[in-house]
Amino acid sequence: MKFLLKMLLYAAIGFAAGYLTLELLYGRNSEGLLETIYFWLSIVMIVLAAALLVYAFIRRKKLIKLTNDKNRTMNEDDFDVYSYNAFNIITVTTAVPLVLSLIALAIQTMAAENPWLVGFTIILLFISGFMNLQASALINIIYPDKDLPEPGDKKYNQKLLAASDEGEIFIMAKALYRSWTLTSTMLFFAIIFMIFYSFITEESQIFSIVIIGFIMIISQLKYAYEIREK
């Protein structure tokens, strides 16, 4: 999973650097070339999203089969580790296609070159959302003895924490804190990147900068509110 996340991060950085290089070298004369790059980027995203969904479907079937198999060769401790890691992988490989298909849909819609491709991307987006919900429901299949909430429950977060022990809550808290720190750092550098991009290309990114800035402020206020002493 770490390798997959690193590859996605490196791919995003590489694309951003390449895009900025093209703008530095060619400026507005490269609009036709950039549209072609966008188009093929959306194709790559669609293919990658579809491949990840197929992989997630296979892993999900295998995990459910092993969960229901009372004669499996691995012991309970090994199976707990396997099922936990498999659940995390399935969650990632259904969440990433949801984002990729949404970005691809945005590119295809703005380009509006191929309505069939737009339609296919919309279908892929709905499939990604459905499989992401199915992945969330896996936790109830893996741990049938625990009183875990259903994914659509309005108080899902509170009930999930109530059903978790102190060790599980500590692991979740540590992971969420690290994710929050990474997200805040990446959003900060995204603002800096968009400022330089606006200067170089003369295409204003003020709206995006303001939106990201508000997200960072609200996120920080929410974090401070949640950890305050009561």
Kindly report, residue by residue over 85-123, the tens digit of the pLDDT: 888 888 889 999 999 999 888 888 876 567 788 888 899
Only one residue has tokens 């669609």, namely 46
Choose between 49 and 30: higher pLDDT.
49
The residue segments making up the domain with residue 189 are: 164-229
pLDDT band at 52 (very low <50, low <70, confident <90, very high): very high
**pLDDT given at position 19:** 59
- Domain match, 205 and 119 both: no
Asked if pLDDT for residue 6 goes beyond 70, the answer is no
Residue 96 lies in a domain: yes
Asked if pLDDT for residue 167 goes beyond 80, the answer is no
Choose between 211 and 156: higher pLDDT.
211
- Domain match, 37 and 88 both: yes
Number of domains in the chain: 2
Structure tokens at 183: 């997200």
**pLDDT given at position 55:** 92
Q: What is the average per-residue pLDDT within 189-210?
A: 80
- Domain match, 86 and 174 both: no
Q: For residue 188, which amino acid is it? A: F
- Domain match, 130 and 223 both: no
**pLDDT given at position 2:** 53
Asked if pLDDT for residue 3 goes beyond 80, the answer is no
Only one residue has tokens 């507005």, namely 28
**pLDDT given at position 219:** 86
- Domain match, 195 and 130 both: no
CA distance 221 to 230: 16
Q: Contact at 8 Å (CB) between 104 and 141?
A: no
**pLDDT given at position 22:** 54
- Domain match, 184 and 93 both: no
Only one residue has tokens 């490989």, namely 93
How much is the mean pLDDT over the chain?
Answer: 78
Q: What is the average per-residue pLDDT within 126-136?
A: 87
**pLDDT given at position 185:** 84
Asked if pLDDT for residue 213 goes beyond 80, the answer is yes
Only one residue has tokens 């204003």, namely 204
